[in-house]
Every structure is written in structure tokens, then in C-alpha cells.
């Protein structure tokens, strides 16, 4: 077999092996992401836990983000806002005052198509539950007391005078429907995917880089003297 043919053979084999290892790395990353999503979904389906068991008076938060939580209090009908979400829907955000005077932001649901007026919240003392989430990232919008670009608590604190809890809940579909609203989609935080899968992915990508490097070395060695002998260490005379 001629030198050129051997170079082509090495290049093809090296390319196939490199692509295969890159694909294996990507597959391991997909496994990691799937495990994260499964973990987040599992957290969101747990029974509601009392929120104040996990949020202390100084604002310290325990392991409750991404889990259903329940609170008792009453809505402040004068403190409501529309949240113009990135998906084009308009969420209804209402202030829910607890017995200790702190306020929890509650996404009660989504305004139905064609509706602009925010329905009044239920009156009286009641219990509300929903997945507890941290403050959302800000959006490039002009916020006001009645119209926000996201449920961003530092922005909301400029318009609501009470101390805010460090998170918000989104009511489930049945509760939203009972209040004349449609279901609001909950963007679950990342779960705890296996860090081992990330290690495997990085390992395959390192192998791919090494394989590409050695393929180039083999081809260059053949172009110099027609053999791979120059890759072996030279013995001293």
C-alpha cells in the first residue's frame, strides 16, 4: 500500500473514532440533562410543605425551591400586577399577606385571551399552595407598579412596601381556574443531575482531542519517511 493510501486510511479511521467519541460525550451530557429534568419534575410533584418551615424571619431559605409549598394568609386586592411573560402570555401577580406581616408574591394564573382586567383575588383568610421558586431574571422592559416584565423580587420591592419573602409561588391549574384564570406554566429550576455523567462527557471529549492529535502525528510521520518509525523513541548510541 502506498504512502498516500495509508495516510488516507489513517485519516478516515481517526476521523471516525474522533466523531464517535464526540458523539459519546454529547450523549453523556444529554443523560445528565435528562436526570436534571427528572429530578426537578420529581421535586415539583411532592406534597406541599409549610413554607414558613423553610423560610426563616431573616430570609434564610432551606431546601424548598422547586417544591410545592403552602401558606396561610389573605390577598391584598390593591397590590396586583400584570407580568408580561416572554412567551406572550400575561400572568396575574398578587400580594398575599401572611400573619407576620410579610408578603408572598403569588402568580394566580394567566389572563384568558382578550381579557385585560385583572380578576379580584378571593377575599378572607385562606390557604394557598404552589411550587415555590426564586426571583426570575430581569427583562429589558419598563416596569411599573401594575405591569412587570418578570417576577423579579428586587423590582417588585420598589412597588410593594411590605417585606417580601425570597421567592414566589404559582398556583396549580385547578386553583387558577377557580379564580377565573388559565394555568400558568411553571419554569422549574435545574435538578441534581449526576455529576458523574459530566465527568464521562469530558473524558470522551479528551479522548477525541487526543485521537485527532495522534491522527495528525501519524499522517505527518508518513509524509516524512513513509513509515511510522519516527513516532517511536530513538535509542541512544
Outline where the chain has alpha helix (H): 3-44, 153-156, 173-178, 195-225
In DSSP terms, which residues pair with 80 in a beta bridge? 94
Pairing label, strands 68-84, 126-133: antiparallel
The whole model's pTM is what? 0.64
**Does 56 or 181 have the greater pLDDT score?**
181
For 206, the domain range is 3-39+193-231
Q: What is the pLDDT of residues 193-227, one digit of tens each?
A: 445 556 666 776 787 787 788 778 777 777 766 55
**Does 158 or 216 have the greater pLDDT score?**
158
Residues 210 and 174 in one domain: no
- For residue 149, the SS3 value is coil
Q: What is the mean pLDDT of the chain?
A: 81
- For residue 77, the SS3 value is strand
In DSSP terms, which residues pair with 94 in a beta bridge? 80, 106
Number of structural domains (the chain) is: 2
153: in domain: yes
* Contact yes or no for 122/179 (Cβ under 8 A): yes
Residues 33 and 125 in one domain: no
Residues 171 and 217 in one domain: no
122: in domain: yes
Lowest mean pLDDT segment, chosen from 20-29, 68-77, 108-117, 225-234: 225-234
- What is the reported pLDDT for 165? 94
48: in domain: no
Residues 35 and 73 in one domain: no
Residues 91 and 173 in one domain: yes
Amino acid at each position: 500500500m502506498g504512502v498516500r493510501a495509508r495516510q488516507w486510511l489513517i485519516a478516515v479511521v481517526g476521523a471516525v473514532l474522533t466523531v464517535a467519541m464526540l458523539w459519546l460525550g454529547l450523549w453523556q451530557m444529554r443523560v445528565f440533562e435528562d436526570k436534571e429534568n427528572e429530578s426537578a419534575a420529581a421535586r415539583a410533584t411532592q406534597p406541599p410543605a409549610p413554607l414558613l418551615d423553610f423560610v426563616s424571619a431573616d430570609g434564610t431559605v432551606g431546601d424548598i425551591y422547586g417544591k410545592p409549598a403552602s401558606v396561610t394568609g389573605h390577598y391584598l386586592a390593591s397590590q396586583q400586577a400584570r407580568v408580561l411573560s416572554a412567551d406572550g402570555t400575561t400572568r396575574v401577580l398578587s400580594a398575599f399577606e401572611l400573619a407576620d406581616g410579610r408578603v408572598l408574591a403569588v402568580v394566580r394564573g394567566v389572563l384568558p385571551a382578550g381579557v385585560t382586567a385583572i380578576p379580584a383575588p378571593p377575599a378572607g383568610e385562606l390557604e394557598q399552595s404552589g411550587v415555590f421558586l426564586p426571583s426570575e431574571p430581569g427583562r429589558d422592559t419598563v416596569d411599573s407598579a401594575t405591569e412587570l416584565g418578570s417576577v423579579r423580587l428586587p423590582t417588585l420591592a420598589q412597588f410593594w412596601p411590605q417585606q417580601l419573602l425570597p421567592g414566589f409561588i404559582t398556583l396549580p391549574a385547578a386553583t387558577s381556574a377557580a379564580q377565573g384564570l388559565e394555568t400558568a406554566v411553571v419554569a422549574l429550576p435545574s435538578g441534581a443531575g449526576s455529576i458523574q455523567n459530566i465527568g464521562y462527557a469530558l473524558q470522551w471529549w479528551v479522548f477525541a482531542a487526543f485521537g485527532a492529535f495522534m491522527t495528525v502525528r501519524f499522517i505527518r510521520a508518513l509524509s516524512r519517511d513513509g513509515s511510522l518509525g519516527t513516532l517511536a523513541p530513538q535509542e541512544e548510541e
